[in-house]
Amino acid sequence: MARDAPMTAGTPAPPAPPAPANHRGRQIAIAFGIVAALIVIYALSLIAVHLLAKSAPALPSVDLSKVEAEDSVVQVRLEKLDTVANRLTVNVTVYPKDSLYDRNFGVLTTDAAVRLYPDNDLGDLQYPVGKAPAQVSTTIVAHGDPANWPFDTYKTEVIAADVFTGTGANREKAPARVEATGKLDGWDATVTRIHDPEDANPDVQDDLVITLQRSKGALIFDVGICLVLIALPVLALWVAIPMALGRTTFLPPLGTWFAALLFAVVPLRNFLPGSPPPGSWIDQAVVLWVLIGLVTAMSLFIVAWWRSREKKTPKRT
């Protein structure tokens, strides 16, 4: 039996074994699993936000059917809150007692003025005779610390009102019941009824205090933006540190990526709901350290560039 001929230098090497048939199928399955996991996480996050972001309902409208004929009501409708200035903008409408109101034509039968306590920016709010009571916009003080964003809470002083009717010697003053209504986007409003100590009836609570705190939906969005801000320097340092240590190849195009990350900080910070004032704790605890981390990553990138640059010998003349 003849022996096999020995392999010579010119003999081609045996072909490599074929790749497993299921290798490509495994890659497709992994990719499909990643996409499916992302879809599930996205759907669950939407459901969680929908369940957690429920805010308090709007303050109910004034039910005039429960008001006695000889009582006047001053409605305060919430419009806007300026957190930095501690000012709450409201629209004020007076519903006078029946003897001062022509129900057939829906107009006042005498001049009326509403004086809010504490003082508002417009003073006495005027409602002329012969016209339907219109909303008058004014601002009142809402005490709170905007530097505590997003956990800041704002509270008005005790809001009371007097209604002045008539002119001259016939001018009369009568206390009115204050009712708050409306809703502010991103805020939960609650009303606390207060008894006027000058009223002999202890069961009468015509005055009120309005408290405003941020809704859960706004808080969830704030947390998301803060997580995005924190992720920027983490990703930048994760790329820059191995590059500076020489463990990965230096890639010059990444310089534009680092610049984009750096310039994205201020727009993201200004995108925060409620616009926290400059210098608040979010700037000291998050934004400043995000900028420091990004600048550190860019410095490491420059170090990596300096080590990998081509050293050219100067030309002799």
Alpha-carbon separation of residue 124 from 116, 117, 146, 165, 310 (angstroms) = 7, 10, 29, 12, 78
Residue 22: what pLDDT?
66
> CA dihedral in degrees (88, 94, 95, 96; nearest 10)?
140
Q: How many CB atoms lie within 10 A of CB 316?
A: 4
CA-wise closest residue to 56 among 78, 75, 76: 78
Q: Give backbone dihedrals phi and psi of 117, rounded to 5 degrees, phi first.
A: -125, 130
- Domain residue spans in the chain? 64-214, 219-308
Q: Give, as one character, the DSSP assignment of residue 159.
A: B
This prediction has a pTM of 0.73
Alpha-carbon separation of residue 35 from 29, 46, 108, 217, 228 (angstroms) = 10, 17, 66, 27, 21
Its sign, for the CA torsion 264, 267, 268, 269, is positive
pLDDT at 34 over 70: yes
Residue 317: what pLDDT?
56
d(CA 202, CA 191): 19
Strands 73-82 and 172-181, by their bridges, are parallel
pLDDT at 21 over 60: no
Residue 160: strand, helix, or coil: strand
Q: Which two tokens stand for residue 9?
A: 């230098």
CA-wise closest residue to 113 among 173, 170, 180, 181: 173
Q: pLDDT tens-digit profile of 259-278?
A: 888 888 888 888 887 778 88
Q: Give backbone dihedrals phi and psi of 237, rounded to 5 degrees, phi first.
A: -70, -35
Question: Terminus-to-terminus CA distance in the chain, angstroms?
Answer: 78
Mean pLDDT, the chain, whole residue set: 82
Is the separation of the CB atoms in 155 and 210 below 8 Å? yes
d(CA 82, CA 60): 23
Q: pLDDT tens-digit profile of 196-254?
A: 887 777 777 788 999 999 888 777 788 888 888 899 899 889 988 888 888 888 777 77
Q: pLDDT tens-digit profile of 102-143?
A: 878 888 888 888 888 888 878 888 888 888 888 889 999 999
Q: Which two tokens stand for residue 170?
A: 């016939």
